Chain A
Amino acid sequence: MPLIFKRTSAIGVPIRLRGITPDGLRASSPADVARLEVPRGNGRVALGDVFRISGDVSEGRLEFEGDLGDIHEIGQGMTGGEIIVRGNAGRHAGAGMTGGAIHIHGDAGDWLGCEMKGGLIHVRGSAGDYVGAAYAGNRRGMTEGTVLIDGSAGSHVGASMRRGLIAIGGDCGEAAGLEMIAGSILVFGACGRAPGAGMRRGTIGMFGTAPVPLLPTFRPAGRFRPLFLRLILRELERLGLPPHEGLSDEEFLLYHGDLVGLGKGEVWCRGDGGTP
């Protein structure tokens, strides 16, 4: 049985759940957890004042029920176990996590999985800006792990990411893969301005049918049918991303870039892709 956090009260000022992870709460009873205090604005609040807490954490699972859109840093830095959010999640969910899984059955805020080093995040709704990106002033975004988003995502997806996979079922905003060092970003919908700007290595798959507004600093390198896309799609389906029929037989336009950087990155554009 998981440890269940049922949201009972509105809080006005947001709270941060840093440290409230399956491994962090190991061997705590619901009453112990209810007494734990977390930061709220310039003060602190006991978890028991915000949630009704039941169950136990022996299985290494936490379940949050209710809208947690104003509750941030859910699963931040977690190393293992599972967190399920039955509602929206706030900012920085899963940031810096090294292992385990977070399932969000709603929307996620900005900085989802920022600088994560391992594990899985699956958002059934949409996510905000800076998914898997680097924090301001830092050099590297996510270095390992998988982020799946069934809906769409905001701007700067995977900015400066080093390794790992981000798959977005819907659209994504501007500057996806900005300055990415390596890793993979797959977008099944439309994408915003300047995808892959400054990318050094890595792969961006643009699987939407709309033209991709690539920068002129990407060079066409032919058409191809990537065989390994079948493996990736099968894996994504296994992880729970809704299937995309027929995509594995598609032919893609391949672009190399970004030529202002190392130029070893590749962008696959479906159908009528390419520069605007």
Chain B
Amino acid sequence: MTTVNVEAGSAGSHVESDVVCVHCPCLCDDIDLHVEGGRIIEARNACAAGLARFLDVGPEDDPSCLIDGRPAGFEQAVERAVSILAAARSPVVLGLGGATCEAQRAAVALADRLGACLDASGNRGDDPSTTALQAVGEVTCTLGEIKNRADLVIVWGADPAVSHPRLFERHVLEPTGLFVPAGRAGRYCIVVDDTETETVQTAADEWIALRPGAHFEAIWSLRAMLRGVDLDPEAIERSTGVPLSRWLSLVDRMKTARYGVLLYGPDRLDNPGDPSVALAAHAFVRELNAHTRFVVLPLGGRENDHGASQVLAWQTGYPGAIHLAGGFPRYSPGEFTAGTLLGRGEADAAIVVSGNPNECLDDPARAGLARIPLIVLGSDGDKSRLTPAVMFRTPDLGSRTRGTVFRMDGVALPLRQVLPTKRTSTEDVLRAIGRRLTADAARPVREDRPCP
């Protein structure tokens, strides 16, 4: 990675190359940022959404700490946070996706200190792809492997053209790969969806238009077809909206692919209570490997959500929906999921760590969050429309923070600080609260070693 001065002699104007963009979990690491006068004025290679995010990084003019909406000093803010947390009998730590792995680790340590409920992804701690991973496993790969090998790409119930704008361009469809020298011409893309998404319009060679909501029934039937089970054509068409012959030719194409990949959108496909599409997809892909190499990759999450499940699993043994009361982690998706816990009114204080919970919480959970004292850490506190008792404004993740983030395929990437900051980092705020809690309670706790 290099730093290039574009205008010799003009201080503060330079290009930072190969910067990681944290807009979506693709974490594109080829962005060239043009920095001038302490602001980013151009982000070469970034998608429109990534560019907007970089250009949106404003000066840190707002006060760093607020108590009940009024500016306050850091020490007072920590003191107020500690007084809320010390009195809480059922605190919850949520968010985490918008923080680095180092800050997430500090959040785990604080949750452990508090005996709190800890959940990474707001409402989706019962992340269906995680549940599927536990139940049937996951035949997976890195994005680089897809780029170099995949000749068949199935996109199921996801719209990566919108949610992961550069996924096709950088990894999945467009690039030439070691074993796909023809690039896009060497790959075939089939979209299975019940709506005509932008991916259908811009990327698909073929669209299989499903009966609305029949994702589970369709994948389940494909599993039977793969086993060579004779199915009733009428029943298949009635339940999936697609003729059996079309499904059979899809199965044939999958079996004869050299290297296939199934990308699916767990956030859109799975509703709590429904039979899990993720479970069906993972089981189907596992069975496909009796015929050819096939992999499955969930297209879920935002920013560093994947890092959060990695850190939580590393530190506690579980990827989310964890309760640390009693001194050891207990895991219960659906019960200790932050969204359901808040919706049932079982939390009495919350720490929102660098994430906008309004984006991932449902209405009852948002109402639950509004009833309890909140401690919010985030760079975009004003956008979250929360009314925190204590607000810590932290440095922007994509430009003013250094640390580690995880891409959607589990590859760790270093995050570089390209703009200076005068704010205290998320990690340091969490550690300061933890230290103060410990000092107040005068009880010995495990001191975390800093992350190497």
Contacts and interface: CB of A to CB of B under 8 A. Distances in A.
B227 interface: yes
Interface stretch (A34-42, A142-150, A229-237): A34-42
Interface in A194-217: 194, 197-198, 215-217
Contact of A155 (B131, B220, B274, B346): B274
A175 B274 contact: yes
Interface in A56-110: 70, 91, 110
Most buried by A among B89, B115, B324: B89
Contact of B275 (A110, A136, A178): A178
Among A137, A193, A197, A217: residue with most chain B CB under 10 A: A217
A13 B114 contact: no
A246 interface: no
Contacts of B240: 216
Nearest to A193: B275
Contacts of B216: 193-194, 197
Interface stretch (B33-41, B47-55, B229-237, B442-450): B229-237
B116 interface: yes
Interface in B296-335: 324-326, 331-335
A275 interface: yes
A260 B223 contact: yes
Interface string B204-232: 00000000000011001101100101011
Interface residues of A, number: 37
Contact of B235 (A70, A174, A216): A216
A158 B91 CA distance: 32
A242 to B, nearest CB: 26
Interface string A123-156: 0000001100001110000000000000000111
A110 B89 contact: no
A275 B239 CA distance: 8
B424 interface: no
A173 interface: yes
A193 B239 CA distance: 11
Given A43-B89, A215-B217, A155 B239 contact: no
B249 interface: no
Contacts of A13: 89-90, 346, 348
B134 interface: yes
Contacts of A43: 89, 115
Nearest to A218: B235
A129 B239 contact: no
B447 to A, nearest CB: 20
A43 B441 CA distance: 14
A42 B90 CA distance: 6
Interface in A238-267: 259-260
Given A175-B274, A215-B217, A42 B89 contact: yes
B275 A174 contact: yes
A271 interface: no
A14 interface: yes
Contact of A136 (B221, B239, B333, B348): B333
B326 A39 contact: yes
Nearest to A176: B275
A276 interface: yes
Contacts of A39: 325-326
Contacts of A156: 273
Contact of B236 (A110, A178, A216, A260): A216
Contacts of A155: 273-274
A260 B115 contact: no
A179 B275 CA distance: 11
Nearest to A220: B232
- Interface SS of A by simple majority: loop
B238 interface: yes
A12 interface: yes
A193 B131 contact: no
B252 to A, nearest CB: 18
B275 A259 contact: no
A42 B114 contact: yes
A260 B332 contact: no
B325 to A, nearest CB: 4
Contact of B325 (A42, A129, A135, A217): A42
Interface string A14-57: 10000000000000000000000001111100000000000000
Contacts of B346: 13-14, 70
A17 to B, nearest CB: 14
Interface in B351-409: none
A91 B239 CA distance: 34
Interface in B262-312: 273-275, 283
Contact of A40 (B89, B116, B235): B89
Interface string A164-187: 000000000111001100000000
Most B CB contacts (10 A, CB to CB) among A13, A137, A216 go to A216
A66 to B, nearest CB: 19
Nearest to B116: A42
Contacts of A111: 335
A179 B116 CA distance: 33
A136 B131 contact: yes
A111 B330 CA distance: 15
B274 A193 contact: yes
A217 B220 contact: yes
Given A13-B348, A260-B224, A260-B227, A110 B238 contact: no
Interface in B57-91: 88-91
Contacts of A135: 332
A41 to B, nearest CB: 4
Contacts of A137: 134-135, 331
A259 B221 CA distance: 9
B339 to A, nearest CB: 15
28 contacts: A13-B90, A39-B326, A40-B89, A41-B89, A42-B90, A42-B325, A111-B335, A129-B273, A130-B334, A136-B333, A137-B135, A155-B274, A174-B273, A193-B216, A193-B275, A194-B217, A194-B220, A215-B239, A216-B220, A216-B239, A217-B220, A217-B221, A217-B223, A259-B224, A260-B220, A275-B232, A275-B238, A275-B239
The 7 closest A-B pairs by CB, nearest first: A42-B115, A41-B90, A41-B89, A155-B273, A216-B235, A175-B275, A13-B90
Interface of B: 88-91, 114-116, 126, 131, 134-135, 216-217, 220-221, 223-224, 227, 229, 231-232, 235-236, 238-240, 273-275, 283, 324-326, 331-335, 346, 348
Given A197-B220, A215-B217, A217-B231, 6 more contacts: A41-B90, A129-B273, A136-B332, A155-B274, A219-B232, A259-B229
